[in-house]
Chain A
């Protein structure tokens, strides 16, 4: 019997797909089912066509799947953009008027008058609840779990709203039950230890755990979510949150805050980050730390504002004029989003350098279950010294790191400067001081590379073929490798992309064939590795249509690599 299923909700913006998604995935968690839910939306507030794909199955599932088992149509344009993803056994469910006849006749189609049922339950706005009931019934899940979610979601609403919703759920459930799908979904044992998160929430949680107490940003999708997340936590955790007038202000506020002893972060997308570059350079020169989150979306310019891409790696790695150390991180899973975001603050504070976190729309907006983080003994070093009268901001030390003072804490003065400066922070044009200060700053690189976040390596340690990826492509590749005999092949996922971990050299030297998978057009990480190590990359697997890699695509890449190995 089938052990997993892919359901797609397809409708217009403003129709409440997000509400169904939220209620549904929480019901799935209650049922101890593992799921992965990813959305793609058009850049508009009403109309168009948005879809949410919910995959249910084993815990390995963590990617976008092209092939749809059940398509639930919520609006008029609900089939056009997805019909090529249907297969011979696909089911289509929706109102008759929303499903073109040609499609209805080619697939197993069930007309369900969701809206009329909602009206019967008391209100057309209950359509989403009817759909929820239908899907639960269709999957043979418990109605009472949906009921519990509704009670939780509407607990602050009047009684009538709750009873109407429960009625709508029941009506939907009854019809769904008649169309039940025979399926054996694997239950997980320990869902209480798991929580539902998307990448945005995971990065936000990690930031708080890292001591983030200042956030300034200018809204830009898909980076805005982290700003909003922290705004909601501002009072509880004592976080200064400000919507800056532009990205230039945002990064300069971040620096002002770190200078005064805050642990500050900004969030944006590629376009906003381009405006911040001078500030990143300032962070490098002043040695005032900074943490910047870039939620990547396809460029150039405004590009595809609501879609996904990994096109800003080079932008991040080479951000800012002049030469200075920086760290670029790229989480690939929810767990990494939490821990890397947390770690970013520690790295920034330890080395006094800009730290950039690269994520993307796919990672930020996709929901899944992840191990519940344990923050009970979370602590961090502030790396702040109480200054004395003799304090010098840029004291030259063995490892390049000067003790960090903050104004008002101690008897000394903290003087930072964007001009080249001497140890007291005063402007200088002395060539010897310049050389010494350049060396002081760049020396930190050595320490940074000694304490990198190592890549995750999966597969055969005796590999001859090495697959490399970074950031959000981790999920799809790891899923594709699961349950496969991978003799001769290994996969390295990088969550620190710059500076490159030292082990990269060893890994790439062992490989006879290197394949780099990236969600961009020019193979930026492959180029970076080539530039840093002078090795040859044999193949780039690239995609730049605004969508994440599908499991089908990556499975075929891996299959062909495996058959290439076995033919040898």
Chain B
């Protein structure tokens, strides 16, 4: 647990504070995202944690220890740090860069070598890259090395300052996914800075939204922030497509399907009754295995191809896209076994957001 107690940071004695009386508790094992417009104090907050900056007032406590009571070098060696432009040492190979902290800590050679190999695989790098120098790597590979270096001594805390901001959007999405699965396995306490609200929503267990002048505007899980922005600043920052972003956080399994859903099983003769019960003029057909096999208007004689099918793990944002494209304004949802278990329409999605 990392606790900020009334922390203020001024760079110059007479400057406006970069951070103003911050009270914030970051939970162990969670990924907390600090997000906000440029200059609002995110980097400052991060750098206070490993004392790259010293607070002007207030204190920061890690696991009941005020960090001012710790030796600053020990503190830093126990906290991983990843920055936007990897900050890799240009004169060290990939393997040597990753080995930096273990070497500072005086690990045995064999142990370091084993750990480096393990990390190269963990962050998804090709082992053939171990002997390369940073300038021989792509931006995405450099960021992976940066992450591996930060994780090398297995620190419980990881600080990441816009680590994916300098890579192209496709690589960024992949690195985000990898970070999420890495975090699912490692359960580190991660503090992640970004100014990209979408990245914050994708990654954060909790997000802390900062406003100008280092004011903490809201601190909550992404779903809560999207559902109930604390003020106009947060609502603006989330953007006009806030509901779309929220939908992206729900999976299809979270929605209640139309009740009753207009679904016909093989051998059904009176599809009209089924459709009318649901208040529509069409039905989805299920085959003998329960899988969706097509759909049919009441006044037509043959079913049409089924089209997009939504799985239980698909996001509701994807479901909405499919609903908008369907002539019916509805999509079939299947369960994990691929059996059609209900039909989703706009009302079903609206009910989730309500």
The answer on A and B forming one complex is no
